[in-house]
A and B are shown apart, each in its own frame.
Chain A
Amino acid sequence: MSGLNIQDISMRFDLPNGGHVQALQNVSLDIKQGELMSVLGPSGCGKTTLLNIVAGFLAPTEGKIMLNEHPVLGPDAERGMVFQQGALFEWMSVRDNVSFGPRMAGKSKSDWAGNVDHLLDVVGLQDFKEKMVYELSGGMQQRVALARCLANEPDVILMDEPLGALDALTREKMQGLVLKLWKETGKTIILITHSVEEALLLGERLLVMAPRPGRIHKEYRLPFADLGVGKDLREVKQHPEFGPRREEILGMIWDMEEEIMGRTEESA
């Protein structure tokens, strides 16, 4: 079975005060090659933990992750990661950031130069190749991060709130870019977000997670990502199904947040 298989993952760790945290409980998920899955959930639902386990930064206490039929044991170039911000290397130019993966793999410049230039074209940074990353705006920096991840040609791209720190307008443009890159490259993408609209717009599949213990609450299959490729995303939001879905999921997350609040009040 190819693709990414998350098999009955549980994650439990001890706290210094003697207690323990059940961050994830029996999470299972199969993601096919080329799928874009967005993950939503209130804070503490374990979505970032799940992403870190898939990336190989954390080891689960139970279960395993299989990618294309081999187990995930640690970080690897086959699973690229895009962070919210601050993960670029300030001491390198835009081009050096984007070519970091191929350069570390020991590839010669002739092997990667064409692809890196092409990716910089795709993300609209062809005129900023020689600039240092700290000279760019936040939106441009995230485009560098996307290009850097793609230049390494991973099988799976893991995005941890990649657009979370951007302003609304830039964010909307970047959402279009993510969809475009997804369709053009056919990569498997897992995208964590706090924005219900973003999850609806980008996720071919949408996973809602619930907290304490972190688990899968509900899964949706959505048409909006396919509709939105190359289109104005504001039109997609006018789709008759979009509004009701948004309200449904918002309500679901609100209920969970309120439940958490209630529990903390009780314990306090």
Chain B
Amino acid sequence: MGQIIADLSAELATLFISILSALPAIVGYVAVILLCMLLVRVIRQRMQPTQDYTSLKTVTFGDESAVVSDKAASIISVVLIFVIWGAFTGTSWLPSLFHAPGPFLGQGTFTYTVEADDGTRDDATVTVVVHEAGAAPEAPEIAPGDGAAKDDVLVIQAYRSKLLTWDKNDEVNRKDNNARIVAVDGRPIDRDTDVDTGFARVALTDKGTLNVEPGKGWQMENIWLPAPDSVWSRLISVSRDGYQNVTLAEHLSYSLFRVIVGFVLGAAVGIPLGYAMGLSNWFRGWFDPIVEFMRPVPPLALIPLVIIWAGIGEQGKIILLFLAALWIMAIAARSGVSGVAISKVHAAYSLGASKAQIMRHVIVPNSLPEIFTGARVAMGVCWGTVVAAELVAAEKGVGKMIVAASKFQDTDIVLMGIILIGIIGFGIDVLMRWGEKWLVPWKGRV
């Protein structure tokens, strides 16, 4: 137990340190938010001020009804995300003025000084060519120069480093003359002291070679964070040609198919179950322990069991989503039935309605708002669960696509998949809200 606490404390400390190191970025971001607020406020004051009722309120702090989402803030915040994303990936969508400093590209030189065991010293020049990933330029021809140490050429890909075995062409070397490098660019170098040549860091390795690491700048490498334009072009190419012989439409359709079938089955069983629990003591007593136990079990925890029982095919995933939707819908339907005002039921009875008519004309419509709320939650949970289930095991599906892409470091596909998952999840919620407005217009207005 003590060991666990010690381990966890160490984890917490590490976490705290990384949060601290992110603090300047967070403070900067908040500063940008406040700055934009001031700017927009100044611009608005210059323009014709609106005089609606809310603008005349003097007490707005704490008045919930006076707080509405500011459209300008939403637009600026989304644009800023893309600007930051673009700036730190050097996208072609942004003028290079906005780009964060990128990695060093092109040609640079430094000199090293060799000292042989007899105490003689000589200098040689190293020409370093740094190129972008994918391009493989020819090493430039250079004259070897005079003296014991001969000049070298090094071709390095951006964001990478390379070892320089400087004595390969020199007249003195580490083995025969016990030669060693004592300075780079005239500055002394040893195993603990690196030299910054302006375009690269040069370090002495244990074996006496030089490790040359050209400057990486502030931008993110493509395999960490691809630029927005490369995600976009990847979206175009994948939706045209597919990824690993499966088209994007196929991936998305499979995921949506699972969600919709699982949700519909869950609702088809859950709603009648909820009604039974809301209308009968016996059914309430029978299913309460089951529902109350299953509700807090996250559907993701069922993935391993479902894979063991039903395999990785469609059936397993649909069972999982069915279970994810079932309890939510049952509870929503139950509370929808329990929420019917007794005076409505009494009124219907004294107007001569039969039990079936009360069910059809009073209880069902009265429970619809609750059922719709439940359906929105269930759809959200199902969408999250299907992606997670596909991450674990699937042939097709958007979750499968991103997990496969991550194994090949196709980060642009991973990012594209995440964005698509977000857009589809949002789209589902918007559709549900439309359906709600259309089917239960009285919701919240009673």
Contacts and interface: CB of A to CB of B under 8 A. Distances in A.
A90 B350 contact: no
A91 B347 CA distance: 15
Contacts of B349: 56-57, 74-75
Contacts of B442: 90-91, 132, 134
Contact of B346 (A81, A91, A132, A134): A81
B445 A104 contact: no
Nearest to B364: A91
Nearest to B358: A104
A98 to B, nearest CB: 10
A91 B365 contact: yes
A137 B362 CA distance: 22
Contacts of A134: 442, 445-446
A154 to B, nearest CB: 8
A159 to B, nearest CB: 12
Interface in B363-401: 365-366, 368
A90 B446 CA distance: 7
B54 interface: no
Contact of A104 (B354, B368, B441): B354
B351 interface: yes
Interface in B427-446: 440-442, 445-446
A77 B350 CA distance: 5
B353 interface: yes
A86 B352 contact: no
A90 B353 CA distance: 17
B341 interface: yes
B350 A100 contact: no
B351 A101 contact: yes
Given A75-B349, A134-B446, A100 B361 contact: yes
Contacts of B361: 89, 100, 104
A53 B341 CA distance: 19
B446 A76 contact: no
Given A104-B357, A134-B446, A86 B351 contact: no
A87 B347 contact: yes
B285 to A, nearest CB: 17
A89 B446 CA distance: 10
Given A89-B362, A90-B442, A80 B350 contact: yes
A79 B350 contact: yes
Contacts, number: 75
A76 B350 contact: yes
B56 to A, nearest CB: 26
A80 B357 CA distance: 17
A43 B252 CA distance: 63
Contacts of B362: 89
A89 B351 contact: no
Contacts of B357: 104
A101 B352 contact: yes
Count class of interface residues, chain B: 20 to 34
B344 interface: yes
B348 interface: yes
Nearest to B443: A90
Contacts of B441: 132
Nearest to B352: A77
Contact of B352 (A76, A83, A90): A76
Contacts of B352: 76-77, 101, 104-105, 152
A83 B346 contact: yes
Interface string A1-33: 000000000000000000000000000000000
A87 B362 CA distance: 10
Interface string A146-190: 001100101000100000000000000000000000000000000
Contacts of B51: none
Interface string A121-149: 00000000000101000000000010011
Nearest to B341: A86
A55 interface: yes
A89 B354 CA distance: 16
A16 to B, nearest CB: 16
B343 A87 contact: yes
A75 B342 CA distance: 13
Contacts of A81: 346-347, 350
Nearest to B351: A101
A104 B351 contact: yes
B2 to A, nearest CB: 49
B445 A83 contact: no
Nearest to B441: A132
Contacts of B344: 86-89
B354 to A, nearest CB: 7
A76 B349 CA distance: 7
Nearest to A100: B351
B118 to A, nearest CB: 101
Contacts of B351: 77, 80, 100-101, 104, 148-149, 152
Contacts of A87: 341, 343-344, 346-347
Contact of A55 (B350, B354, B365, B440): B350
A189 to B, nearest CB: 14
A63 B434 CA distance: 54
Nearest to A90: B442
A68 B368 CA distance: 40
A86 B344 CA distance: 7
A57 B349 CA distance: 9
Given A86-B446, A91-B442, A100 B341 contact: no
Contacts of A90: 442, 445-446
Contacts of A55: 346, 350
Nearest to A145: B347
B343 A86 contact: yes
A134 B341 CA distance: 15
Contacts of A56: 349-350
Q: Pick the 5 closest A-B CB pairs, nearest first.
A: A77-B352, A75-B349, A90-B442, A101-B351, A87-B343
22 contacts: A57-B346, A77-B350, A79-B350, A80-B351, A81-B350, A84-B343, A88-B347, A89-B344, A89-B365, A90-B442, A90-B445, A90-B446, A100-B348, A100-B353, A101-B351, A104-B353, A104-B361, A145-B347, A148-B347, A148-B351, A152-B351, A154-B350
Given A148-B347, A152-B352, 11 more contacts: A57-B349, A74-B349, A75-B346, A77-B352, A80-B350, A87-B343, A91-B365, A104-B352, A104-B354, A132-B442, A134-B442
Interface of B: 341, 343-344, 346-354, 357, 361-362, 365-366, 368, 440-442, 445-446
